[in-house]
């Protein structure tokens, strides 16, 4: 390699050739350092620009994702509400077909028991009993039972209470249910 270099240099002495090579190497070195510094400087700017763009894209993506999640959650909530209603309806029908009374039936019977208990208590204490309208209980009939306030009580002479009269035990909803006529389903 040294021979080829000498042939190319021609008349140039070895010391001149060495200094030329040295200068060229120095310039190459400095160019490399300059390129490195420029790349480092520009790289920092490019890196910062990429970070800003990434943050922007992330916020847009998060916003879109939140909107989609809200849409899906809304649809799911509506679906769950409908499913829950269908389930409740089917359970109510199944219980009805088994003869299990509904909440409205129990409420109606409870009110009737309270009214009847008040009437029995009034009779046992020798007072005039409030007049209570007695309606047959039908599953389809959801009309409220008339209360004592809706009809005036007929005044009867107060009967004297005998010493042998015993207090009547209170009536429970189960007692009332047991007195209702049985249907042909059972």
Domain positions in the chain are 14-89, 103-159+166-179
Q: Which long-range contacts (CB under 8 A, 24 or more apart) does 149-156 make?
A: 153/128, 153/129, 154/128, 155/128, 156/128, 156/129
Distance (Å, whole) CA 46 – CA 40:
10
Q: Confidence class of residue 155 from pLDDT cuts 50, 70 and 90? A: low
Greater confidence (44 vs 31) lies with: 31
The predicted pLDDT at position 132 comes to 60
- Structure-token pair, residue 157: 């002479």
Q: Confidence class of residue 148 from pLDDT cuts 50, 70 and 90? A: very low
The predicted pLDDT at position 59 comes to 92
Query: How many other CB atoms are there within 10 angstroms of residue 108's CB atom?
Result: 19
108-146 pLDDT per residue, tens: 999 999 999 988 988 888 765 556 655 655 554 444 444
pTM above 0.85, yes or no: no
CA dist 82 → 71, 85, 171 (Å)? 17, 5, 40
Query: Among 112, 174, 102, which Cα is nearest to 139's?
Result: 102
Greater confidence (57 vs 43) lies with: 57
């Amino acid at each position: 390699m040294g021979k080829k270099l000498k042939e190319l240099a021609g008349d140039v002495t070895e010391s001149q050739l060495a200094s030329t090579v040295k200068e060229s190497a120095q310039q190459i070195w400095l160019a490399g350092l300059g390129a490195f510094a420029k790349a480092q400087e520009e790289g920092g700017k490019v890196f910062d620009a990429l970070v800003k763009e990434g943050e922007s894209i992330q916020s847009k993506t998060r916003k879109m994702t939140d909107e989609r999640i809200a849409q899906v959650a809304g649809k799911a909530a509506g679906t769950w509400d409908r499913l829950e209603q269908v389930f409740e309806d089917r359970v109510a029908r199944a219980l009805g077909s088994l003869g299990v009374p509904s909440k409205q039936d129990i409420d109606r019977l409870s009110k009737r028991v309270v009214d009847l208990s008040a009437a029995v208590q009034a009779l046992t204490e020798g007072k005039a009993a409030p007049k209570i309208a007695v309606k047959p209980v039908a599953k389809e009939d959801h009309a409220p039972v008339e209360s004592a306030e809706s009809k005036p009580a007929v005044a009867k002479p107060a009967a004297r209470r005998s010493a042998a009269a015993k207090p009547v035990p209170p009536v429970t909803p189960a007692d009332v249910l047991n007195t209702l006529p049985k249907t042909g389903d059972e």
